[in-house]
Amino acid sequence: MAHFAQLDENNIVIQVIVVDNENTLDAQENESEVIGVQFCKDVFGEDTIWMQTSYNANSRKAMAVPEGTYDANADEFVNPSPYPSWSLDANNDWQPPTSEPENGNTYAWNEETLSWDLTQTHQAKILVAVDGEVVNP
């Protein structure tokens, strides 16, 4: 199965559809994006805009998702921002205003405070056995 993203005139993804591979094959039985795009136009209208996308991100960096965008200069799909405060870097990756701490703990972004909240600590726990019974020190 092949996946195709419909774009609006601003390269915003409207929808993603699945197309049977037989509707994308050329005369030599090779998958062709051009043929798949034409199939989508035949179904949804000649004035629609389509790009092939990959569910496993083998091409165009990411799987297209509704409200995401297509960056024509980089020839890749960009997912919507996970949070309003985040911005795109030069690689089309969303970056928070402050970096996540790198201390082995798990954090979640807090948009209200624009900071990282600790969600889980990863500390080594030492167990001591006395006479065959485990006791906490």
Q: How many CB atoms lie within 10 A of CB 77?
A: 26
**In the chain, what are the domain boundaries?**
2-80, 87-137
Q: Taking the model in full, what pTM does it have?
A: 0.77
> CA torsion, points 6, 54, 79, 69, in degrees to nearest 10?
-30
The Cβ of residue 122 has, within 10 Å, a number of other Cβ atoms equal to: 8
**Residues pairing with 69 in the sheet:** 12, 78
At 22 the three-state DSSP class reads helix
Q: Which of 10-14, 40-44, 123-127 has the lowest mean pLDDT?
A: 123-127
d(CA 63, CA 3): 9
Model confidence pLDDT, tens digit, residues 60-92? 999 999 999 999 999 999 999 999 999 999 999
